[in-house]
Structure 1
Amino acid sequence: MAYNSPSCVAVLKNTGLSNCKDELLYDAMLVWTTNAFQFASEADAEDESKWIDGINLGTVFPHPIFDEVEPALEDDVEQETGIGASLFVREGKYGGLGRAITALCNLANLRTFNEVTGRAFIITGNGKVYGTSPDGVIFRGFSLSEFHIGMLGGSDGSTKRMVPFEYQFKLPTEMADFPAVPQLTWDPLTQLVGVVDVVVAEVGSSTDALVVLSVIRTCDNEVVTGLVETDFTILASDGSTEMIQAGLFTDNADGTYSFVFTTPVLPADTYTANLKTPTAQTTGQIESTGVVTFVIS
């Protein structure tokens, strides 16, 4: 084929229909991803742990479940000529307006995604993940042309105040020609949760034999329980020497965690304590807002 010689031959395919229907319900949630994020295969897309890895790495961001949603499909764009002919210009884009009841303390974080280039998977009301596969192998979200989270809306006294999530997808062909829905054995509506900001604090005064830390969620002040020793780090003043002694850790089940030091005890120094990054934690999906500094003299 040469320049300026397009092929006008259509390759027609069979029109026999499947006996099974996909049964995709309404848009219940969007999972925003970086533009480059994709699953390498259908098997990876069906693996819950791969999604959690993406969440901890900061490439996959589940957004709140909608309490109500209005789908919006543009009409196809056509040009009416002066001689009465209709010329097809482009297909209409799909999008919607979701609304969710969220805490005001979460709103600023959510709005950092406004107008950022990215993609999004649609999670349907019956727990299906709706995305696109251009080659039948990789799986990724639909390219976004608009993603905007507004301010807390008003109420007339008969409804709850909600936050609007306005979204529109850029390429109709991704949905029309290359749709993909992996067959999950788990529920993304309950299992896909964004990373939570927490505050790590020193409880009481640390000694050379005992350090107690608390972990509390920033927005609702709920304590975080169930963490394990390998979620934490306590570093000497050189910033690299790990001081936690294996096996001398206790989860006190009240949001506090005890670290015992024996043979040797902590030498005199200035220490920093913190959670590891979400991807380096055993538990994951929580992130500290900053380090704790304490001095042993």
Structure 2
Amino acid sequence: MITDNIYFTQKTYPIIQQIENEMDDAIIAEKFLFRSFTREEMYNVYCSIFYEFPYRIIPKNDFIGISINALEVLDGGSSFDEHQDKNKLYDFQIQEFFERRKSFDPKNCLETVEFFIDEYFIKLVFQFDKFIESAKTFPSFLGINDEQIILLNLIKHYRSTLSNESIQIDFFWAIQLPKKINDQLILLLIEYLEQRVAILNIKTKDIIFENKNSVFPEFQNKIIWNGNQQQLCELFLKLKENKWVEDFEEGNLKLFVSSLCNLFDIKKTKKKDTSDEITSLYQIFKGEIIDGKKTYPFLEKPRYKKVIKEINKN
């Protein structure tokens, strides 16, 4: 059973690698541009991407197309707070949008595409109810409140495009992917929807009741991390530096962070109830590349006090 977004992190990693291999040929996707730059407008588009099942059918794509809207939706829409009276963008922020449009190059947007994919499946797992409520407003589903009927029709709709070489689902409005890649994301979505249908149809006879633990009690709990995420990163950077752990940056960094989160309970590091601590920890471990060298900005901040003074070399 898919119980968290780590499952999708493992599945989407090879998909993102395929996208990376084709980014040099990425083109600008022509979409309408924001004019008023209000957070409300951007948030509405943000919700239509990250809180809805993709539904619209478009002709088959053979290329990667990215619109500047993808970046603007993330910057303006993701920070919208529905409980805040004023969700205004400042003039300097709007000016930054216009300046970025002048130099926008879709070939440099791999991280944006990666974020779109990660964010979508995180929200699918943890905020599935919003997807269902949104689906009920689709013209095809008006008046239908039965979740199973909606899901079965979506699965049928998606499968019809997989078998047709001339069409595909428009997965992300601001990002167009080649059908061969887009269909892989659709298959992941189908897998999750099919699991949901199975959950809705569970019967007592489907369960084998056993009066025993499958895991010994002493192994059921994670180690609770009492520090913050930067300190956890600092610890493992020091362990790596002194050869106590292998260089985790040479492999799949996402899988390493996922494994770390299976070992440590880092819920105390969440800044907001709606934030995803695993994704934010990954961003910290990801660091930045400056002049070809990997750096960790948090270590350079004057206000950050290093907590790992010394670890002996192995």
Range class of TM-score, shorter chain: under 0.3
Return the structure number with greater strand share.
1
Return the structure number with greater helix share.
2
Larger Rg computed on CA atoms: 1
TM-score after normalising by structure 2: 0.23
Higher relative contact order (CA 8 A, sep 6+): 2
